[in-house]
Structure 1
Amino acid sequence: MKLQLLEIDQADQLGACSLSLLLGVFTEENRIAGFLRFARGILQAECAILAFHHEPYIWYSSPQGFKALQVSKDVNLNAYFAGETVLGTQHVNYQKFSDYIQTLGIKHQRIIAFDLKTTSMDSIGQVLLFDHQTEPYQHDQLELVREFAMSLINIIELRSDYAELKDLYEQQSALNFSKTKFFQIIAHDLRAPFHGLLGFSEVLAQERDTLDESNVQNIADYLHDTAQSTYNLLESLLNWAMAEGGRFVYHPINFKLQQVSKIVFDVLNTLAVKKNIELIEDVPEDLRVFADINMITSVVQNLVSNALKFTRVDGSGKVFLRAIQAEHEVEIYIQDTGLGMNEQQIQQIFDPSIKVSFKGTSGEKGTGLGLVLCKRFVDLNQGRISVSSKEGEGTVFKVVLPAASASHHALPPAESIPCGVELMDGKVQAI
């Protein structure tokens, strides 16, 4: 097993060298090259190597310049240090360590190694200095190199903290922008129905005597439908805000999935009949899941309601609610024969940022907020939700939940539920 040498601009995995990049390894401010050059000068060593754990490349400094090395992932020097930070000739494992390094193609007469440890005493890598000289390294020189290595670690920690804070700031800024846009949509959707509510209620209040029963009934129907859809929007918005704020209590139990499917069927079948759609429930009686029953009821009801909303009302429409056992999981499918979606709609369907809802087959209105809640609730229950669809042919939502386990509390059945290279000699083997 030999180390392999390559030019830095040949390194195609630099993105995985997170600590090296923090030290500017690919820039003019190359702290690694500067540190290795300084350490070699202090100890009068010809060559030096710095290696960070879990990075694909290590860094080699010699009078010929600064290079990148590729080494097998099996190379591990931690065990040789035995808890010490310096591995020199006085160390109990020095000879074993030296022999092992020789097998990697690092030929030397003397070698010294430093374990790079953070303030929390976690090892992040090692530094090796070596050559063919025989004079021992001086203690005060070793101490100076060790102290300089500690300053390098401090730089890494500071830059790592800065990078993390910067990422968090950018994520929060993007989230705030997304939420602002989201609430702009919600505000618009709340304002619009009130124009109709105020207008038609004014007609009833001031012009009732000029209206016949048919006109009154039409206005009453409009007011009821608009008030109901606005209420549903407010309820969904409140639930979403509570979920985002962590105010929902996740209380999983074992229960028969049919307890949920029957509730949803009983609640929504009247709507299905009204829209001339066949609602088909096919959930085996013995199918059990481990989840929060209230959240799952909300998810299934929302998905079935959406399926009914976008299914044709010409008598050919069908909505299926079925479930199957799949090893340690339960798969729930809500399928419709409705309008379907295009690829862009599929990609954005669980995105709460900026979404305009589409009208259903009977003119139903919505904001798509219910699907955001579905995704949130499924995630809280350690499940997965996905969607497949084709325009004009319908949509299938798939929800995967953990199957019930006998070790968890079960709900009583009768209870009603609400919703290398040779470095010193030999040839250099390039990649």
Structure 2
Amino acid sequence: MKLQLIEVDQADQLSACKLSLLLGVFTPKNQIDGFLKFTRSILNADCAVLAFHHEPYIWYSSSNGFKAFHAKKSVDLLQYFDGQTTLGAQHQNYAKFSAYITQLGVKHYRVIAFDLKQEDGHSIGQVLLFDDAIEPFLEDKLEVVHEFANSLIRIIEIRLENEELKELYEQQSALNFSKTKFFQIIAHDLRAPFHGLLGFSEVLAQERETLDESSIQNIADYLNDTAHSTYNLLESLLNWAMAEGGRFVYHPINFELKQATRIVYEVLNTLAMKKNIQLIETTPSHLKVYADINMITSVIQNLVSNALKFTNVDGSGCVYIEAAECVEGIEITVRDTGLGMTQQQIDGLFQPNLQVSLKGTSGEKGAGLGLVLCKRFVDLNKGQIEVISKEGDGTTFKVILPAAMNAHQSLMPSKKMMNN
């Protein structure tokens, strides 16, 4: 067997040479070349090889320059060290090792090998020095090379730590950028309703006597609707932040699904009627799921709110809340006859890109948090969520949840739950 020589500038798999790249193998500050030259000069050896585990190339230094060879995946030098860091003429496996590397194409009369072992005992590669000289390597020189090899390992460890810190820094910078963008969106979405709240409340406070009952009622309706929508935005923001931070308490129980769907129907039916949309809830009363009732109620409410937001207000629009048993558990369906979505919109639905969502059929706006929160809650409850939609043909969201584990732990309806 003969090792396959390649030119260093022809190495096309350098991206897989993580440790070699850390040592600048393909740069003017090539520390691998410098290390091999130094060790050759200390031991007065003609040739030196450095090989890192799981990298596609090994690095060769001689008087003819610095070169690269293709590494053979089947090569295993570590087996001959027997836990020691130096393999020389006095090692019990020296003869076997010498024969092994000769078969690999490393012709020599004398050879010395060093195992590059980290402080935790993990080997990252080996260094070989060899030539056809007869005199043995000097012991005091071997100690110098051994110490220099340890220094190389320390350099690699430090640079690995720096790479990890750099990656963490970049992740944190990206996160900070996302948070800044997120707060900009929230500030924008909150500013508009507060302008209206402040303006109309000022009219009531300062011009009350000039207003008739109809004007007062219109202002009151506006203030009520705006206060509710602003509160819902803040509630979604809080829930999203808690879910992202891992601080949301997940408390699954067995409960009748209709308890959650009925709450959503009673909360949102008034909004549906104002938009001239028919909200239809047909969840069978016998279906029971094993999940966190507060999270699932929030999921259904978000999906229905979204459906109402994008359903036509000309009297033909309908939003359906349905459920049925399926192979995986219980399938909840929220479908509408609204605007529908393009494939590009579908692909970005559950991505936390913090983009402002599209306006609804009555000009509604949002921060785009609802569906991200839904996905997070469904995942926490070991469920699945998917969407089927076509532009102009409405949208259907399907949520699959685990069925109730038994019939004896179902949560009974309570006044407190109905008020949440």
TM-score with structure 2 setting the length? 0.83
Q: Which moved more, 1:50-59 or 1:392-401?
A: 392-401
Following superposition of structure 1 onto structure 2, how do residues 7-406 of structure 1 map, counting pairs within 5 Å? Answer: 7-251=7-251, 253=252, 255=254, 259-260=256-257, 263-268=260-265, 270=269, 274=273, 275-277=276-278, 279=280, 292-314=292-314, 315-319=316-320, 335-342=335-342, 345-346=345-346, 348-352=348-352, 354-378=354-378, 380=380, 389-395=389-395, 397=397
Letter of the structure 1 residue corresponding to residue 38 of structure 2:
F
Shift of 1:59: 1.5
- Name the counterpart of 1:412: 409
Give the match's secondary structure for 2:38.
Answer: helix
1:219-238 per-residue CA deviation (whole Å, 9 max, x = no partner) reads: 22211110001001111222
Deviates more, 1:274-283 or 1:154-163: 274-283
SS state at 1:128 partner: strand
Q: Is the 8 A contact 2:303 2:334 kept in 1?
A: yes
Cα RMSD between the aligned structures? 3.5
Deviates more, 1:158-167 or 1:386-395: 386-395
Deviation digits for residues 181-238 of structure 1 (CA, Å, limit 9, x no counterpart): 2112211211211111122223333444444443333222211110001001111222
Which letter does structure 1 place at the counterpart of 2:164?
E
- Any conservation in 1 of the 2:277–2:311 contact (CA below 8 Å)? no
Change (3 A) 1:199 1:288: closer
Change (3 A) 1:96 1:411: farther
- Structure 1 residues 345-385: Cα deviation after superposition (integer angstroms, max 9, x where no partner): 45554455552232222333321122333344455556676
Contact 1:254 1:411 in 2 (8 A): no
Amino acid at match of 1:310: F
Would you say the 8 A contact 1:279–1:318 is kept in 2? yes
- Offset, 1:84: 1.4
Q: Contact 1:111/1:128 (CA < 8 Å) preserved in 2?
A: yes
Does the aligned pair in 1 maintain the 2:253–2:410 contact within 8 Å? no
SS at match of 1:234: helix
Q: Which whole-Å CA distance do the structure 2 matches of 1:384 and 1:12 have between them?
A: 42
Q: Which amino acid aligns with 1:276?
A: I
**Offset at residue 397 of structure 1 (A):** 4.9
Alpha-carbon spacing, 1:89–1:247, altered in 2? closer, same or farther (3 Å):
same
Cα 1:87–1:405, aligned 2, differ >3 Å: closer, same or farther? Answer: farther
Output the CA distance in 1 between the equivalents of 2:322 and 2:83: 60
Q: Report the secondary structure of 1:126's partner residue.
A: strand
Matched residue count: 411
Q: Cα deviation per residue 1:236-276 (whole Å; 9 max; x = unaligned)?
A: 2222333344432344x4747xx446513541372685352
Shift of 1:96: 3.3
TM-score, length basis structure 1? 0.81
Higher relative contact order (CA 8 A, sep 6+): 1
Q: Map Cα deviations across residues 370-412 of structure 1 (whole Å, 9 max, x no partner).
A: 23333444555566766565433444556677x5798xx9981
Q: Structure 1 stretches of 5 or more lacking a match?
A: 420-431
Distance in 2 of aligned mates of 1:124 and 1:265: 62
Deviation string 1:253-304 (CA, Å, 9 cap, x unpaired) is: 4747xx4465135413726853524556679967866x65543443343233
Task: Name the stretch that deviates more: 385-394 or 14-23.
Answer: 385-394
